Amino acid sequence: MKAPAPLRLGIAGLGTVGVGVLRIVAAQAETLALRTGRAIEVSAVSARSRGKDRGIDLTPYAWEDDPVALARRNDVDLFVELMGGSDGPAKAATEAALAAGKPVVTANKAMLALHGQALAELAEANDAPLRFEAAVAGGIPCVKALTEGLAGNAITRVSGVMNGTCNYILTRMEASGLPYAEVFKEADALGYLEADPTLDVGGIDAGHKLALLAAIAFGTQVDFEGVQLQGIERVSIDDIHRARDMGYRIKLLGEARRTPAGVEQSMRPTLVPAESPLGQLEGGTNMVVFEGDAVGQIVMRGAGAGEGPTASAVMADVADIARGLRIPPFGQPAATLAPPRRANAATHCAHYIRLNLRDEPGAMAKVATALGLAGISIDRMRQYDHAGDDAPVLIVTHPCAPSDMAGALDQVTATGVVHGEPVALQIQTP
Ligand SMILES: NC(=O)c1ccc[n+]([C@@H]2O[C@H](COP(=O)([O-])OP(=O)(O)OC[C@H]3O[C@@H](n4cnc5c(N)ncnc54)[C@H](OP(=O)(O)O)[C@@H]3O)[C@@H](O)[C@H]2O)c1
């Protein structure tokens, strides 16, 4: 029997991930051909500067300055977009490839979080697969798990730690006792931060990933604007230590839930039980947790970024396309994805409150009364020794609506017995 023609890749973007893909295609050529039944080759590449030394021999590949021209080349069967950026050349070249009926594999969460619905419609209209495993949690095959392995489940919750840089900063603060600003500088020096660090520490990058998983999990159009975002910039070393005293660790936690009112999505610093899998997650590692009606809870853990892990995820998509697998980008036809229906702050949860109490008689009673009047009851409380005129106090509340908590903090401040602004963080609901 005649061997099938090789699948010829055109790769736009030769940075960390693009070079990783070139390395895997070369190193695993034989294995990939055996596993997919077809040779996988790279025919052409593109990046901004042709002369840059990338530590890899590019002479076997044709060069295009323009990624759109690369996507349209006759010797490119599959376009691999690894440039990044939600718009600009990444989107233009992706659209050009899809319009030409060519499959696209991308690691670009920003582009998909903002334009995922339109790109999925374009892909399906042209019968061209669009895949993005590498866009979510790096090397963890969570998109595949959701679209294929869990296809028989009604997914009720997706949660996880999806930004390794934030997890590195939070765990390093705890281990070193250094404040946020110092550890941020360290992370920058180590090259862990994006060119625009707010994408990482502001929770935006992780929010993009959560929005993509939520769309697949709940059969809804991707709704990044619906993610309630809060970054880690205001997490203090005091909060980290005090939370630990109460049996918790602070994580930038993403949660998307199906509720009767719609989909609730949030990415914010949250206390998780120290002994839970999420609580034990160290350094730059990611964790994605799915809950399905039939399967129960599934936990996936692994490297969320870096050359090898991200290129590994890109190649998983390339291999699926080589095998002829056809799955709509969000797991079901784009036209059947429900428009976003937001149910933000629908879930009641316990909170951790940290405040500095003035050293005066009846101060604690006034705080408890203010919370009670706002409908919030106290589960546990701990008072620390006075430091000067103030005594740090920690309170763990019973579950309440997040909107009630905002009002309650105003009431607590109005008592006049608290120094500075009280801090409140949500505690993950079981
Ligand atoms: N790095 C990770 O660990 C990771 C993990 C998950 C997902 N991702 C995603 O993967 C994608 C690539 O990330 P990366 O870390 O590999 O980025 P990177 O190292 O900054 O590389 C980007 C590449 O794109 C090229 N490029 C940028 N603008 C271009 C343009 N206008 N025309 C042609 N080429 C252009 C750059 O060319 P020059 O080299 O000539 O400047 C560079 O080779 C992004 O969407 C990112 O979010 C990355």
> Which residue's CA is minimally distant from atom 27 of ligand 1?
83
Give the domain-ending residue among 303, 334, 361. Answer: 303
* 366 in any annotated domain: yes
Determine whether the shortest distance from the Cβ of 67 to ligand 1 is under 6 A.
yes
* 198 in any annotated domain: yes
Q: Write out pLDDT tens, residues 360-405.
A: 889 999 999 999 999 999 999 998 877 777 888 999 999 998 888 9
Give me the catalytic one of 102, 209, 251, 366.
Answer: 209
Give the domain-ending residue among 274, 303, 332. Answer: 303
The amino acid that residue 387 corresponds to is: A
> How many angstroms is it from 108 CA to the middle of ligand 1?
9
298 shares its domain with 370: no
Tell me if residue 106 falls in helix, strand or coil. Answer: strand
263 shares its domain with 174: yes
> How many angstroms is it from 94 CA to the middle of ligand 1?
14
Tell me if residue 271 falls in helix, strand or coil. Answer: strand
Please provide the size of the chain in residues.
430
With CA atoms as reference, report the closest residue to 212 among 156, 179, 172, 254: 254
Q: How many domains does the chain have?
A: 2
* 403 in any annotated domain: yes
Determine whether the shortest distance from the Cβ of 303 to ligand 1 is under 6 A.
no
* 10 in any annotated domain: no
Average pLDDT on 285-304 reads: 97
252 shares its domain with 367: no
356 shares its domain with 267: no
Q: What is the CATH number of the domain that holds 232?
A: 3.30.360.10
* 330 in any annotated domain: no
237 shares its domain with 296: yes
Instruction: Name the DSSP class of 147.
Output: I
Give the domain-ending residue among 303, 329, 362. Answer: 303
Instruction: Report whether 186 contacts 201 (CB < 8 A).
Output: no
**Residue 102 bears catalytic tag:** no
252 shares its domain with 184: yes
Q: Write out pLDDT tens, residues 186-230.
A: 999 988 888 899 999 999 999 999 999 999 999 999 999 999 999
Determine whether the shortest distance from the Cβ of 13 to ligand 1 is under 6 A.
yes
* 131 in any annotated domain: no
299 shares its domain with 370: no
Looking up tokens 């002479």 gives 59
267 shares its domain with 379: no
Q: Write out pLDDT tens, residues 238-269.
A: 999 999 998 999 999 999 999 999 999 999 99
* 135 in any annotated domain: no
Q: Which domain holds residue 247?
A: 151-303
233 shares its domain with 293: yes
Determine whether the shortest distance from the Cβ of 310 to ligand 1 is under 6 A.
yes
> Which residue's CA is minimally distant from atom 41 of ligand 1?
48
Which residues, 6+ apart, have CB-to-CB distance to 96 below 8 Å?
68, 71, 72
155 shares its domain with 230: yes
What percent of the chain clears pLDDT 70, i.e. is strictly above it? 100
Torsional sign, CA 313, 314, 317, 318: negative
* 196 in any annotated domain: yes
Q: What is the CATH number of the domain that holds 397?
A: 3.30.70.260
Q: How far from the centroid of its chain's Cα atoms is residue 188's Cα?
A: 20
The 10 Å CB-count burial string (b at 16+, else e) for 146-180 is bbeebeebebebbbbbbbbbbbbbbbbbbeeebeb
Answer left, alpha or beta for residue 363, where phi above 0 means left and psi between -120 and 50 means alpha: alpha
Determine whether the shortest distance from the Cβ of 138 to ligand 1 is under 6 A.
yes
Which CA distances in Å does 80 have to 18, 115, 124, 183, 216? 9, 17, 17, 35, 21
181 shares its domain with 269: yes
**What is the 3-state composition of the chain as percent helix, strand, coil, each rounded to the nearest 5?**
40, 25, 35
Q: Write out pLDDT tens, residues 142-185.
A: 999 999 999 999 999 999 999 999 999 999 999 999 999 999 99
367 shares its domain with 260: no
Q: Write out pLDDT tens, residues 333-349.
A: 999 999 999 997 778 99
- Residue 151, token pair as written in the block: 């296809």
What pLDDT, on a 0 to 100 scale, did the predictor assign at position 252?
Answer: 98
pTM here is: 0.96
Comparing 131-135, 191-195, 352-356, the range with the smallest average pLDDT is 191-195
